[in-house]
Structure 1
């Protein structure tokens, strides 16, 4: 993953025609692990994938058929996490001084999960040794910033066309995740930053549709949405952002990261979810004062 490769590290999948005020984003499903990156890591080729959201871009691929574009990463989350602020960096990871504007004190940095992560899931250290600070800054300049510029363009294009835009940020979560205070393991979690990143009508519709399909669903706990949901969701301006977490145990073997036999069923259920959600989304958009003028 050289600086020159930044433009090839993500892509936009476009429908034949955009027919919906919807943008799908899959920032953590990338699985291009280059030889250079693997050589820097102390982890084997399977362990380094523990932070990946396997096949999420495939699970939500029905959005293309319905008429929504999808931005998907090819670079892995272990290499660069675009669901963070641009400079959430751990100074212990690098040789050299970080810029003064770097956020070195966030809880995510402390947990080893900054913009350039120190750990993958299960608290496994990624790197054999410190990285030159210029390496981290190059990843941000050459991949992180172009990725977000592309996402902003898709959202802005959609908003201009429809006067309304919904971003669905697509993720997966470990199968052992439980909601605080309970023993249940949710199949899905809908995050809207506790009601600040999307209209409650949209969040409720997402929850109710999934429940009607037979799944257990939580809202905002333990995942309320990360930087992307928080940064792009501006409901007062007609910009809505929802995060959807799918329980990995539903569709992959978490030990091998291979698809389970149930994968086609979950793919179908998420397709049905998107069909129903987009219907509710359009009905909500039609009810807005701007739509009536």
Structure 2
């Protein structure tokens, strides 16, 4: 955890770019941020460990080698407990706020009901984040200052990639706890999500599945995670915009109580680098890239 006095807009997220983008793939890690504004922590009833339970810790590091394989990586620096960009912009629970939400807020979604809206009410399914109501103005500030610029940056990356290669494949990178509600997840290491076939070409999903299994992982598709707002919103296969969510079991690479990487973390990262490299080399049946970069680059 990195406690900051103020989270400046320019420090809220980062795009790590390859020297030359040679792939139609774009990677993003929206939940791996660990920069906690001090005033946010002061408003919370949770200690510094409990509030981190919704972090996708180290996911940005696991997929960092995508850049070496010619793909950009967008990663958030703010934590999911502070702001969740894998939601609609205004999925908000009116019971959380002092003041009236705008009329266009989605207050009835299942995610809001579960406490996991754009401004989350809980972490780890049940732990209430806030000691009391927070001002509506604060929610609007987070959305305007951090949420909207993050998605604007992601849209630009996808549009640029689509213009250059004729298609784009967004890999939305996440992690999942090794146990849920006290029950072990069994041997499932990876869950791929394509919104039940609606957000991504089957060819891409099958290729990712086969490569991961060949590397020794147990893999499930859409159960229990089919993909969130990012996968659903940006996946438009008919227009050659594909979006695939990937969830990595945290037990593979980190101590979930201490938030420290396991001794074999570098080995796990190397295996995922191999996965990315092989996936990007697969003949996916998608349009070939233009032979030369566009003049505007």
- Aligned partner of residue 223 in structure 1, secondary structure: coil
Instruction: Structure 2 unaligned segments of length 5 or more: list them.
Output: 292-297
Give structure 1 regions of 4+ aligned residues with deviation exceeding 4 angstroms: 1-4
Query: Are 2:35 and 1:21 aligned?
Result: no
Q: Which digits, 9 at most, give the CA deviation of each residue in 1:30-57, with x for residues without a partner?
A: 0001211111111111111000000000
Residues 187 and 215, structure 1, Cα contact 8 Å, conserved in 2: yes
Query: Hey, what does 1:95 align to over in structure 2?
Result: 98
| 1:78 Cα deviation after fit | 0.2
Instruction: Quickly say closer, same or farther: Cα 1:104–1:286, change in 2 above 3 A.
Output: closer
Instruction: Quickly say closer, same or farther: Cα 1:121–1:286, change in 2 above 3 A.
Output: same
- Aligned partner of residue 138 in structure 2, secondary structure: helix
CA distance in structure 1 between the partners assigned to 2:53 and 2:245 by the alignment: 20
| 1:122 Cα deviation after fit | 4.3
Residues 173 and 247, structure 1, Cα contact 8 Å, conserved in 2: yes
| 1:125 Cα deviation after fit | 0.7
- Aligned partner of residue 23 in structure 1, secondary structure: strand
| 1:4 Cα deviation after fit | 7.8
Bigger proportion of residues as helix: 1
Write out aligned runs for 1:228-267 (5 A). 228-267=230-269
Query: Hey, what does 1:221 align to over in structure 2?
Result: 223
Worse-superposed segment, 8-17 or 183-192 = 183-192
CA distance in structure 2 between the partners assigned to 1:177 and 1:268 by the alignment: 27
Aligned residues: 287
Query: Hey, what does 1:57 align to over in structure 2?
Result: 60
| TM-score computed with the length of structure 2 as normaliser | 0.92
Query: Hey, what does 1:284 align to over in structure 2?
Result: 285
Instruction: Structure 1 unaligned segments of length 5 or more: list them.
Output: none
Write out aligned runs for 1:128-277 (5 A). 128-176=131-179, 184-277=186-279
Residues 175 and 185, structure 1, Cα contact 8 Å, conserved in 2: no
CA distance in structure 1 between the partners assigned to 2:262 and 2:106 by the alignment: 39
CA distance in structure 2 between the partners assigned to 1:101 and 1:44 by the alignment: 33
Out of 30, 33, 37, which is 1:30 matched to? 33
Query: Hey, what does 2:77 align to over in structure 1?
Result: 74
CA distance in structure 2 between the partners assigned to 1:60 and 1:263 by the alignment: 12
| 1:6 Cα deviation after fit | 2.1
| 1:8 Cα deviation after fit | 1.8
Query: Hey, what does 2:86 align to over in structure 1?
Result: 83
Residues 28 and 52, structure 1, Cα contact 8 Å, conserved in 2: yes
Write out aligned runs for 1:1-16 (5 A). 5-16=8-19
| TM-score computed with the length of structure 1 as normaliser | 0.93
Residues 6 and 37, structure 2, Cα contact 8 Å, conserved in 1: no
CA distance in structure 1 between the partners assigned to 2:69 and 2:60 by the alignment: 15
Residues 3 and 139, structure 1, Cα contact 8 Å, conserved in 2: no
CA distance in structure 2 between the partners assigned to 1:185 and 1:114 by the alignment: 29
Instruction: Quickly say closer, same or farther: Cα 1:76–1:263, change in 2 above 3 A.
Output: same
